[in-house]
Amino acid sequence: MDSKKRITWIVRIIVYLLVIAFFYWTITNEYFNYITENIDQFKVLVREHLQIVGLSSGMALLVAIPLAIFVTRPTFKRVESLVSTLVNFGYTIPNMAILALMMGFLGIGFKTAVFALFLYSILPIYRNTVAGIQSVNTSLIDAAKGMGFKPSQILFKVELPNAAYAIIAGVRTAVVINIGATALAYLIGGGGLGNWIFMGIKVFDNSILLSGAVTVTLLAVITDYLLRAVEHIVVPKGTKR
């Protein structure tokens, strides 16, 4: 076993131990009883949370991927740097600031939260899709063209399949970050598990705080695993080494 592998293993074991210790601590202190005692509210909050994540991520997907495809078409190459600069700039604004800004335009509530998180999710997906498409070997495109592929066939049979890994990686990053960021939606009246987290902070109650925070974390971990499964299905076998 080389040293790199050994270090990975040591780190992994330490992390597992910490997680086990954490759950031991929370469970012996009966912190999660707050969930079972308020199961109805819990269900509502989880549903809200997932709705915000689902809607904002879904919309981001629908905007970012087509936009990335558009700017990588040979005819529109010139707008690529312009669009990328704009999108990158948007991402440098802290998400708290975006929330505040959105409140100014859209007022308070669910819609504002969805819209803000939608904006925030565009960049990772967009950037990875552009990078993925651009990294497809130019000789593949040349071969495809030379054999008489139509532009749409080049996109769907060559560019997207070979960029699939990068695209999914972008989606995973965006969605996982989004799940965490959605906790902030509470601040603008968007609902979700942020409710408990911030209430816990306000009243110094670990039980409420952890019931919210741990659930958000679990949602993120589970989603990440699910998206890995999607990746396994969507990414063509020959492009994985």
The contact set with another protein (CB under 8 A) reads: 137, 139-140, 142-150, 153, 157-158, 161-162, 164, 236-239, 241
CA distance 233 to 118: 25
Using the minimum distance from each CB to another protein, give the nearer residue, 126 or 165.
165
Smallest separation (angstroms) from another protein to the CB of 133: 13
Name the minimum Å distance from CB 240 to another protein. 9
Classified as helix, coil or strand, 30 is coil
* Angle, CA of 191, 194 and 196, to the nearest 5°: 105
Cβ proximity to another protein, 197 vs 235, nearer residue:
235
Q: How far is the CB of 135 from another protein (least distance, A)?
A: 12
Q: Give the list of residues 6+ apart from residue 184 with CB closer than 8 angstroms, or none.
A: 95, 96, 99, 194
Minimum CB–partner distance for residue 238 and another protein (Å): 3
Shortest distance, CB of residue 22 to another protein, whole angstroms?
42
Q: How open is the CA angle 173-89-82, to the nearest 5 degrees?
A: 105
Up-side HSE of residue 119: CA atoms within 13 Å toward CB?
21
Which of 59/69 has CB closer to another protein? 69
Residue closer to another protein by CB (options 116, 144) is 144
Distance CA 57, CA 47 (A): 15
Output 164 or 179, the one with its CB closest to another protein.
Answer: 164
